[in-house]
Structure 1
């Protein structure tokens, strides 16, 4: 009997834990379903139901049939974290990454076994709780990308097993405690992008002997790097860039055996670089933008694993160690903007796969190394402003990865290697101010967009094959020896914005078929032997701003149509022109535009020309006044009879025809309308025309008797709809009809037919910022009237900067789908009657999803002078291209200068950076028209922000949210915000000083949460 009972007892014994486990699973499922309900039943959790086991749900991990991990990242959660989650008694891992969770730090103290807590990328606010140490089992804590604020509590140093602490990019503006140094098990400490009060690095941090990764970029650090850091024997990655650190670099730092990456750029470190280097594992070193002196240590040649070395923007002297050229892993060398001299070692590139070679703005002599592309991966050679001589190496013509060559301001001679012109990926070739010779090729690589060869000895004719240079945007070939005619094929270059051919020996007539130069802004063919008449088609170039035809042999009259263009600069001097100048040019803005043309005159001249009326030869009247009066009277009577008869016949026909015409138009409204489509269509006349551009004409139309007006943009008028304009129209309608912001122009409705599209906006009484900033330097024509703009004072300029920044900030950070404008410039910032700024002209804007790293554009868009330099590498764009363009606008506001007309060799951003890098007195660059003592500090601060925004490296530029915050701080009610801000925000340590065009590629540095959207030419 007992033998029969044994199996039964065994089955009963094993069934008890099974039933208990099953019951526990049911309990945890109930908790999770309640959690789902309290989270608002997000659609992403629809598969959580009562008929399945939680251990089968993809967001849940179980151990021994009990829930231990909950993964709720990217679930669009918009409510606070319910405390019920801690009813999961075995929970060790909670991930809430990248949601929209509001409120303060969640109450999770009942989660007694919690080891991993991820709250990153949410909307949490308030301080870290002072009793955070109650979560004593935490191993991993990530609260980055939120709005936590205040001080970091000292209790955070009482988490005994904490391995990783990430508080990157919050709103911490208080202090951080020395007790962090008590976290003896900490391996990863990330505190970057927080505006702590100015603090020294606590020596106690040197106690964390297990620390591998230390990231404190842009945290307002001051003082010296503590000597206790020599105890961080496990340190592999050190990034304390963009702070106010000073003093010497500890010699022990480069003796840490495991150290692989050191980022200390943009500080105030001084003295010499430690001479003794023992850390053979170092991979990346960035000590740029400090005040380091002396020579580069020869010991750097011992770093056999070194891939990236950036020592730019220092005061280093003597020669580059030849040992650097022998480093087998070196791929990126940046030593630009120092005082280095000597000859560049010929072995550079021969022993490694060199990708970037940047040695510009030094005193190097001798030849450029021959083997830079020996590894076959070279992307850029930037060696401008040195004393280099000899020929450009032939080997560069066999380098298919090469994207940019910048060798201007040297002493190179001979011809450009023939194969270099057709190197597959080359887009930028800057060779101005050398002694190069030879002829232009008929064919260049498909990607070539910028060729600058001015001030050399190039000769021969411009080949007709230049038509194949189809992606050319800038061609500067001034002061060479070119001869012959300008071929008509050059007019096929539809992307061209700048064409400089002045100072050559060109002859013949200008091509007349120039209609495809729709993007051209600058044309200079002065000081040649060109003849014939000025083509009337010149008036069809919608974006032309600078025209110089002086010192040639042009004859005939100036086409009257050219007077309708809004030219910033016009020079027709020293030709053989005759007749009356267009009346729009008869103002002081063009006072010296017509000198040495003896046949020119003007009606009642304001410019320096004779009066046309004084040259008229009046013939005596042969007919009596009575006879003339009789003829006039009879003519009027006959005309009146004909008109009366015609009126009654035509009236009914026209009414019928107009009704049919209106029916072909479709009106789509986005606001409440106070007008009809008939009001708009009947007033599209030249009398109401106020502007024109590349994508159409703009009219001002009154919609009621009180004088209220709207602006109407007619973006095309052709039977065959242009595909590009169709895309622009759809982009503008899609964007503006879905966004509402006080600093973005309001789209009221659109009216469309088969062959025309109209956009109706609110009318901005004070037109564009460009007209106010630069219109006072020239007379602006509006219809038939000459409009002169008064000086825009500084308070209004600051108001405009703040408003425009808020509009862009909304587009980048607050729209469901972030919007990149891609053509931010002063002419696209409109001003209402109170000078409130509004962003306009979204024809080039593109909408990007939040998770896209970047969006590829098929062509480079935007306006020259405002374009971010990364366009030289890639058509991938993100919000940082708008930040760059807005930085140019800030520089315009501060200096009063135009974006692309500082001088013939550089635009405004380049000029401002040169001024900044040379440490010239900032007051020198301020606009004298508004440079008042009471506003100097504000103006200098905005200038610094403009410098920061126009950093050549996208990752060094701030976001528009940061820019808006700074500028709004300038507008504090008690004024003089630069003083008020004091230590709260000092722009100076954030000023990135990187080289144009090459910065950032293949250099994967940790950054802000926006760095995921940064440009990467890989």
Structure 2
């Protein structure tokens, strides 16, 4: 027994020793294996650094620093094996290394926000353990690989903000573990595969903005794309229908399919997803009715804006107790709003504008929730506004314009101090405005075209910038307290019952640009001290009972371009008015004397009618001639004999003079020395042709135009004039000469502050000269693109500093005013045909003046296309239809002006690129491929306070350079957008002037200047 015990004990001891030895062996082997793996992974990471060309941000990746698991870009497992690699935000320009999957345990790869080029790195598909892949915000091109479904462990996949194109591969449905899938802001142009419904674990799906102009980001490597790929991008969008299988994605919480080209109906299963919180389907082509069965009771936001949906708003929406935002605007919905929606306790934003909705509004809106925005404009609603819209004191935007709403405004609005925007015009509201509304912190107060009554308050909120109360029944005087309305930019009170005189205090509003007081009962004189209206552009006092003289100070308003004083009782002579006026109406008054010469042309043929004592030297105004008076008729008999005698004497003298001249002419012609010049003057001159001709020396050349050299000539009284020499040392063709004289006759009638004034024409047999006013700061291209010459006064070291953004915007507005006058206020319209920066001249105050009308032609009929035998213009500025077909319309000038806007915002020249591309094409490529616009702007002038405004002008330039002429705005619409930018700048709001504001502005520019700024949902 003892022997057995002893033997057993020895055996056990031996067994334990063996186990310990084996454990030591395995531990050592495992340790050696881990050490070997560590060394291998360390070497791979150093290879990655070397592949990326040893960037400074990886300076801590060294062979001596062997603890790579402590590097911030690396994550490791518990056994110190590399599982994660994060190299985001590093401006990497190399492709992803092909050996990256040699890191065998890699589960997390993040290359977000770099500059990585090329196609999808298919070697990543060999990382079989990959769970997280983020390649977003890079410059990838090509398609998403068909076998991406091989990454069966993937839970997170983000390829957004890239240039991937083509289809979403059906194999995406094999990634059953996915919880987050993002392909937003790409160039995908196929359908959404039905297999996507297999992703039953997916919580977040974003396929938004794969539309024609996705706002994705593209860097300078866009030039690597072939021309075929560029033209293909015009058709980039996700198309087809939303697959019915999307209703199988039971875990889905957030869905964003906005800004695509999706069509068909909304799948009914989508509103059955009980975990769904957010649904963005806006800006597509979805049609049909919204599904009425709503079981997705966790929905907080529904955005179906800008589709073609019809039918009624589902009653089921009234069950969504968590709903904070409902946006159904810009569809074809009809019927009434369900009463239950007004009872929703969480509703903050309600937007249904621009539909066909009707009926009365649910009375409980605002009572049970913290309602902030209530936008129901452009519908057919009737009845009263809900009483409790501001019950909880959070209402900020009340927009109900263009409906049939009636009755008095709710008195509770008089206590709504949170309200900032009130736009309720074009309804049938009546009664008085609640007193509190006048004094709250409103910025827009637009109640026009209603039936409101009452007197205007003495006190008005200092924050109001647009006060529009026209076409109502307000009465009484304009209060003297109007002087406190210091931030008012637009004051429209037309068609009311305002009476008494215009208070002098009204002239103290420094920011006022538009003042419309027409069709009232105002009496007395117009205040003479109106010099404070330095920003005023539009003054309309038509159809009142104003009297007295038109004050001389009205001629000193620097920006005035529209003036209507017609149908009053003004008397006396017309004062010196600004020649920049594009719209002038002084008809039906008691004015006397001579019409100023600046307005004696057909453009103002209806501006002076029904003033019996006015006269003019031209028949274009339909007024009596200033050379004929009743007194002269009564004295005819007394001096007729003297006149006959005088005529006989003069005739004899002329006969002698003619004989002398004939002899002299014959002698000069015979000797071949006849080189006389003929001067045709268009205004009173202080110089003769000899003064001009003697200055045509090489030392006085300051530039060259489309037909010849440009000289600077010194003249008495004016300092200098500019002389353009056309044709030299060759006999002029008769047809060309006739055409030239026709053109000169037209140009001589143009009077506008933003068009270079033509003073006279001097000609002889082989040359013609046009004499213009001299513009001190020369052409815009010299300032903008460093094109200084020795004769220029521009300093190369100073021109960039001087031409800051406010000056550039001022130049753009001035140029637009000149072109708008040519297109819209000349009859027939004038097309310049060679608008470019070298033809935009700048005076000493940097006011822009359009020059070089040697290429201008008259349209046969307004708006009718005419064709020219040859294309005349400059590369980079010529519209495509003009190059291809030689068709001429005002829209070719709009295109050229759009290029100038792009030059002003980017600082680049019009021919930026190569011989086959231009600045306009460059800008369009970047926009279509979604570049960040701020990255394209001129860094030398852009400041944070200007960025939004520059962005807006850049976008306007894109619209002006659209391929189709019909897609371009008119110059009048362009001018309105630029003036709105100027208003924003003057109010210090330029940093919130968004690019998206341009499209709705142009779309609604003819609606009496009422900006539709509510179209962004």
Tell me how large the CA RMSD over aligned residues is: 5.8
Does the C-alpha gap of structure 1 residues 19 and 676 become closer, same or farther in structure 2, counting only changes over 3 Å?
farther
Is the aligned partner of 1:547 residue 2:563?
yes
Match of 1:76 in 2: 91
On the 8 A contact 1:137/1:161 being kept in 2, the answer is yes
User: Cα deviation per residue 1:590-640 (whole Å; 9 max; x = unaligned)?
Assistant: 101000111211223321111212249899999x999xxxxxxxxxxxxxx
Rg comparison, structure with higher value: 2
Match of 2:250 in 1: 233
User: Cα deviation per residue 1:483-535 (whole Å; 9 max; x = unaligned)?
Assistant: 22222332332322211000112223223333343332211011112223223
Distance in 2 (CA, whole Å) between partners of 1:471 and 1:92 is 59
User: Cα deviation per residue 1:298-320 (whole Å; 9 max; x = unaligned)?
Assistant: 33322211222233344444433
Distance in 1 (CA, whole Å) between partners of 2:797 and 2:902 is 26
Secondary structure (helix, strand or coil) at the match of 1:165 reads strand
Distance in 2 (CA, whole Å) between partners of 1:366 and 1:492 is 40
Match of 1:375 in 2: 392
Is the aligned partner of 1:129 residue 2:179?
no
User: Cα deviation per residue 1:114-143 (whole Å; 9 max; x = unaligned)?
Assistant: 332221111112223344455454332222
Does the C-alpha gap of structure 1 residues 254 and 379 become closer, same or farther in structure 2, counting only changes over 3 Å?
same
Is the aligned partner of 1:556 residue 2:596?
no
Does the C-alpha gap of structure 1 residues 152 and 510 become closer, same or farther in structure 2, counting only changes over 3 Å?
same
On the 8 A contact 1:697/1:713 being kept in 2, the answer is no
Distance in 2 (CA, whole Å) between partners of 1:148 and 1:711 is 56
Distance in 2 (CA, whole Å) between partners of 1:699 and 1:63 is 79
On the 8 A contact 2:141/2:163 being kept in 1, the answer is yes
1:583-982 aligned at under 5 Å gives the runs: 583-615=597-629, 687-688=721-722, 736=784, 749=796, 769-774=819-824, 776-777=826-827, 790-791=858-859, 793=865, 795-796=881-882, 879=951, 882-883=954-955, 887=959, 899=972
Secondary structure (helix, strand or coil) at the match of 1:614 reads coil
Instruction: Give the counterpart of 2:160 among 144, 161, 166.
Output: 144
Secondary structure (helix, strand or coil) at the match of 2:116 reads coil
Instruction: Give the counterpart of 1:414 among 431, 437, 462.
Output: 431
Cα deviation for residue 296 of structure 1 reads: 3.4
Is the aligned partner of 1:221 residue 2:234?
no
Distance in 2 (CA, whole Å) between partners of 1:269 and 1:847 is 29
On the 8 A contact 1:899/1:908 being kept in 2, the answer is no
On the 8 A contact 2:351/2:376 being kept in 1, the answer is yes
Distance in 2 (CA, whole Å) between partners of 1:585 and 1:572 is 12
Secondary structure (helix, strand or coil) at the match of 1:168 reads coil
Cα deviation for residue 389 of structure 1 reads: 2.4
Match of 1:166 in 2: 182
Secondary structure (helix, strand or coil) at the match of 1:773 reads helix
Question: Structure 2-normalised TM-score?
Answer: 0.65
Does the C-alpha gap of structure 1 residues 71 and 491 become closer, same or farther in structure 2, counting only changes over 3 Å?
farther
1:458-473 aligned at under 5 Å gives the runs: 458-473=474-489
Instruction: Give the counterpart of 2:421 among 399, 404, 428.
Output: 404
Distance in 2 (CA, whole Å) between partners of 1:40 and 1:801 is 48
Is the aligned partner of 1:58 residue 2:76?
no
Unpaired runs of 5+ residues, structure 1, are 198-216, 627-674, 717-728, 741-746, 822-827, 830-835, 840-845, 862-874, 911-951, 964-986, 988-993, 1004-1018
On the 8 A contact 1:748/1:761 being kept in 2, the answer is no
Is the aligned partner of 1:998 residue 2:1000?
no
User: Cα deviation per residue 1:29-57 (whole Å; 9 max; x = unaligned)?
Assistant: 44434433432444444444455443333
Distance in 1 (CA, whole Å) between partners of 2:174 and 2:952 is 40
Distance in 2 (CA, whole Å) between partners of 1:111 and 1:711 is 74
Match of 1:968 in 2: none
On the 8 A contact 1:116/1:140 being kept in 2, the answer is yes
Is the aligned partner of 1:100 residue 2:150?
no
Distance in 1 (CA, whole Å) between partners of 2:261 and 2:935 is 36
Distance in 2 (CA, whole Å) between partners of 1:194 and 1:753 is 39
Distance in 2 (CA, whole Å) between partners of 1:36 and 1:734 is 47
Match of 2:469 in 1: 453
Does the C-alpha gap of structure 1 residues 736 and 97 become closer, same or farther in structure 2, counting only changes over 3 Å?
farther
Does the C-alpha gap of structure 1 residues 189 and 99 become closer, same or farther in structure 2, counting only changes over 3 Å?
same
Aligned length: 789
Secondary structure (helix, strand or coil) at the match of 1:279 reads coil
Match of 2:411 in 1: 394
On the 8 A contact 1:145/1:169 being kept in 2, the answer is yes
Unpaired runs of 5+ residues, structure 2, are 1-13, 214-234, 651-708, 724-746, 760-766, 789-793, 831-848, 867-880, 883-888, 912-917, 922-931, 981-992, 1004-1009
Secondary structure (helix, strand or coil) at the match of 1:147 reads coil
Cα deviation for residue 456 of structure 1 reads: 1.1
Cα deviation for residue 260 of structure 1 reads: 2.8
Distance in 2 (CA, whole Å) between partners of 1:321 and 1:497 is 43
Distance in 2 (CA, whole Å) between partners of 1:353 and 1:750 is 57
Distance in 2 (CA, whole Å) between partners of 1:536 and 1:47 is 76
Does the C-alpha gap of structure 1 residues 535 and 856 become closer, same or farther in structure 2, counting only changes over 3 Å?
farther
Secondary structure (helix, strand or coil) at the match of 2:546 reads strand
Distance in 2 (CA, whole Å) between partners of 1:265 and 1:753 is 43
On the 8 A contact 1:697/1:715 being kept in 2, the answer is no
Is the aligned partner of 1:38 residue 2:51?
yes
Distance in 2 (CA, whole Å) between partners of 1:510 and 1:957 is 37
Is the aligned partner of 1:579 residue 2:593?
yes
